[in-house]
């Protein structure tokens, strides 16, 4: 590795806590963070989801440990952070990837649906951040990377609660960044567009929808979890020291705009 790349992007000696590390995106990002040198504290609701990821990181010469916690419980959010700190001595980066969705029109959303989505997508992000801040402040700084969504900025039907939760996460990212700027904690978010995972299977799993996506996304394809690695390494490392309170939308160009119908109307 060249000196400049090492200096800016290496996570050697750093501890990263990844919530929802057993998921399709969390798994890929955890492996990438370990490859960049970090010791990765893998979290998910079920330890069995984590063991193969831990084994794969260790087989590649990396360091990881696995911890289960149900993040719908605020006490469990706090205990997760305390446990990682007790076991590893510091937490340099918190990456919040745990998330849920229930797709329904607004008229059919129940109070239980609403709470289930908000509890994980927003409340756990809030209280994980709150729990990690004193440790990061005491050690002289840290990084928080929240996984928000394109739906924070662009609405789609049947995901109203999810979209509201993610818009709140993008805004919370700014609030945390501002409040903790003097603690040298940089707080940023990524807003992935359509990433091809089980989470989004209902959206792409037939020919018609797949074709619709090819037209809707300017780059002509859904993203892969791999497409998120670069931004997450950037936001987790020294390379982003002067960047805080930002959300990077990684969407294959969706927010860049749309094309006119073909043929283009004469009057533009």
Q: How far is CA 142 from the centre of its chain?
A: 16
Sole binder of ligand NAD in the list 9, 41, 44, 189 (CB under 6 A): 44
Phi-psi region of 141 (alpha: psi -120 to 50; beta: other; left: phi over 0): left
**Strand residues in the chain grouped as ranges (E):** 15-19, 39-44, 63-68, 93-96, 142-147, 185-192, 247-250
Cis peptide before 263 (omega within 30 of 0): yes
* Beta strand 247-250 pairing with 185-192: parallel
Residue 25 or 38 with smaller CB distance to ligand NAD: 25
Q: Give dist(CA 128, CA 222) in Å, integer.
A: 30
Nearest distance from C-beta of residue 46 to ligand NAD, angstroms: 6
Residue 201 or 261 with smaller CB distance to ligand NAD: 201
Q: Give dist(CA 69, CA 234) in Å, integer.
A: 27
**Annotated catalytic, 126?**
no
Total binding residues for ligand NAD by CB under 6 A?
A: 26
Sole binder of ligand NAD in the list 8, 45, 229, 243 (CB under 6 A): 45
149 interacts with ligand NAD by CB under 6 A: yes
Residue 114 or 141 with smaller CB distance to ligand NAD: 114
Angle at 17 between CA 119 and CA 139, to 5 degrees: 115
126, 162, 208, 242: the active-site residue: 162
Q: Give dist(CA 225, CA 244) in Å, integer.
A: 23
Q: Which residue's CB atom is positioned nearest to ligand NAD?
A: 23
Q: Of 25, 203, 36, 3, whose CA–CA distance to 99 is shortest? A: 25
Q: Of 58-87, which residues contact ligand NAD (CB under 6 A)?
A: 70-72
Q: Of 185-224, which residues contact ligand NAD (CB under 6 A)?
A: 192, 194-195, 197-200
Q: Of 100-119, which residues contact ligand NAD (CB under 6 A)?
A: 100
Where in the sequence numbering do the catalytic residues fall? 162
Residues within the interface to ligand NAD (CB under 6 A): 20, 22-26, 44-45, 49, 70-72, 97-100, 120, 147, 149, 192, 194-195, 197-200
């Amino acid at each position: 590795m060249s000196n400049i790349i090492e200096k800016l992007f290496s996570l050697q000696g750093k501890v990263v806590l990844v919530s929802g590390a057993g998921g399709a995106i969390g798994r890929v990002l955890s492996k990438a963070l370990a490859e960049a040198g970090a010791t990765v504290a893998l979290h998910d609701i079920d330890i069995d989801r984590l063991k193969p990821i831990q084994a794969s990181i260790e087989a590649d010469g990396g360091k990881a440990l696995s911890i289960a916690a149900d993040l719908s419980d605020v006490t469990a959010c706090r205990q997760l952070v305390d446990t990682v700190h007790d076991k590893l001595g510091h937490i340099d980066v918190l990456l919040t990837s745990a998330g849920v969705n229930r797709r329904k029109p607004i008229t059919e959303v129940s109070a239980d649906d609403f709470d289930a989505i908000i509890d994980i997508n927003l409340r756990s992000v809030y209280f994980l951040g709150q729990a990690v801040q004193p440790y990061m402040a005491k050690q002289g700084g840290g990084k928080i990377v929240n996984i928000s969504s394109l739906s924070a900025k662009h609405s789609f039907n049947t995901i109203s609660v999810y979209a509201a939760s993610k818009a709140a996460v993008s805004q919370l990212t700014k609030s945390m960044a501002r409040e903790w700027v003097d603690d040298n904690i940089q707080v940023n978010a990524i807003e992935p567009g359509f990433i091809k995972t089980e989470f989004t299977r209902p959206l792409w799993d037939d020919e018609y929808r797949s074709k619709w996506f090819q037209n809707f996304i300017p780059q002509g394809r859904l993203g892969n979890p791999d497409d998120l690695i670069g931004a997450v390494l950037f936001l987790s490392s020294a390379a982003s020291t002067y960047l805080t309170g930002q959300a990077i939308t990684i969407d294959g160009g969706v927010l860049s705009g749309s094309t006119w119908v073909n043929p283009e109307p004469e009057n533009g």
